Amino acid sequence: MRITLSTIAALFLSGAVHAETPASLLRSYAGEAAAASRPYAGPSTSAGDRFFHQQHKDWSCASCHTPDPRRGGSHAVTGKTIQPLAPSVNPARFQDRAKADKWFKRNCNDTVGRECTAVEKADVLAYLISLGGAK
Amino acid sequence: MSERNRAGIRLVDWFVWSGATLFLAYGLVCEAVAATSSPAAVFGEECGVCHVAYPGNLMQPADWSKVLGSLDRHYGVDASLDPQMLAVVASHLRATPAATKVGDKSQTLPRITTSSWFRKEHDEVSAKAWSSPAVKSAANCSACHPGAERGDFDEHSIRIPGEGHHEHDRED
C-alpha cells in the first residue's frame, strides 16, 4: 500500500514538471538569480516596473507591450497584434518555461541589445504578476 | 484482520491503482500528442505567430536556408528558435514542393516581396494601397489576401483595403 501511494506521488510530481504557472516560473528565475548574484534580496516589483518602462536604445518593453501591460499592443516593426502581458488579464501568459525563455531572449536582444539576466527576468515577472485586473 | 477489512483494502487498492494507471496513460497520451505535432503545425505555430506562415514554395530552398540560418537577425528583429524547433521548421520547408519562383539574388537576406515574380504579380496595386495603414508592409499578405493564413492566395478573393474587391472579381 505504501509503495502504491509513493508511486502515485511520484507520478503526480513527474506530471507537474511540465506545467508552469507565473508563480512557479518566478520562483525558478529567482532561484537562478540567487545562484548568479549574491547577495540576492529576491525579485523586486519596483525594479521590474522601472526596467519595463526604461528606454534602452530605441525601445522599451512598453514600446510594443504599451505602458500598461494589462492592455494589448502591437509590434513596433511588424505591426503584429500583441495580447496583454499581465497574467491577471491574460491567463495564457507564463505557462511554459520554453516559451517564456524564447520570448525573453528575442525581446531582450531587440530591446536591450543583449539577453536579460535572471535578476531582470525575475523583477519584470514579479512586476507583471503584481498588476491586478484591467483599469 | 477480518475478511471485511481485507476486502475494503482490496477495494481501495483497486481504486488507487486504477487512478494511477489512468493518470500515467493520460500523461503518455499528452506527451505523444506533443511529440507528434506535424512539422507543418510547428511551422504554422512558430512562424505564423508573428506573420503569415509564408508558403514554402514562395522561395528557393537556398533562400530558406539563408533565412533559417540568421533567425537572430530576422528582418530587423530577433526571431531565434531553439535547435530542436529550428530542425522541425527546416524539415517542413524541405518537404514543401520546390520553388518555381525566382528570388532576388542581390541581397544577403532574401525577401519574397522584392523578387521579380512578386513585383510582376502586384504591379497593378496602387501606391495608395501599399501605403494604407491597414497594409503597413508588403509582407502583410493577409491585409489583401483573406485566406493567406491558410495558404490561399486565390485572385478572386482579394480585397484591397479602401478599394474593395480586386478587378479580377468584377470581370466575372
Nearest beta carbon to residue B140 from set A4, A15, A79: A79
> Is the CB of A75 less than 8 angstroms away from the CB of B76?
no
Q: What integer best gives the mean pLDDT of chain B?
A: 83
Band of pLDDT at residue A94, cut at 50, 70 and 90: very high
CA distances from B100 to A10, B52, B56, B61 (A): 54, 20, 11, 11
A17-42 average pLDDT score: 90
Q: Which of B67, B75, B78 is nearest to A104 (CA)?
A: B78
Would the pLDDT of A65 be above 90? yes
C-alpha cell at A77: 516593426
Would the pLDDT of B172 be above 50? no
Is residue B21 packed enough to be buried (19+ CB in 10 Å), middle (13-18) or exposed (0-12)?
A: exposed
CA distances from A17 to A3, B25, B48, B102 (A): 21, 16, 28, 47
Taking the domains of chain B in order of start, what are their residue ranges? 1-36, 37-109, 122-172
B113-139 average pLDDT score: 86
> Is the CB of A80 less than 8 angstroms away from the CB of B50?
yes
ipTM: 0.76
Which residues does residue A80 pair with via DSSP β-bridges, in sequence order?
Answer: none
Host domain of residue A37: 22-130
In chain B, residues with a C-beta closer than 8 Å to the C-beta of A109 are: 72, 78, 80
> Is the CB of A8 less than 8 angstroms away from the CB of B82?
no
Which residues does residue B164 pair with via DSSP β-bridges, in sequence order?
Answer: B160
- Total number of domains constituting chain A: 1
Nearest beta carbon to residue B17 from set A4, A78, A109: A4
**Within-domain flag for A3:** no
In chain B, residues with a C-beta closer than 8 Å to the C-beta of A4 are: 13, 16-17, 20
Would the pLDDT of B35 be above 80? no
Check residues A123 and A16 and name the one with the higher pLDDT: A123
Maximum mean pLDDT: which of A7-11, A40-44, B33-37, B50-54: A40-44
**Within-domain flag for A113:** yes
Q: Which of A100, A106, A108, A84 is nearest to A22 (CA)?
A: A100
B49 Rama class: left (phi>0) / alpha (psi -120 to 50) / beta: alpha
Q: Which of A63, A72, A108 is nearest to A90 (CA)?
A: A72
Q: Which of B22, B9, B35, B10 is nearest to A12 (CA)?
A: B22
CATH of the domain at A46: 1.10.760.10
Bond preceding residue A22 cis, omega within 30 of 0:
no
d(CA B138, CA A11): 51
pLDDT one-digit tens code per residue, A14-29:
554 457 999 999 999 9
Band of pLDDT at residue B171, cut at 50, 70 and 90: very low
Residue A32, pLDDT score = 96
Nearest beta carbon to residue B77 from set A4, A7, A77: A77
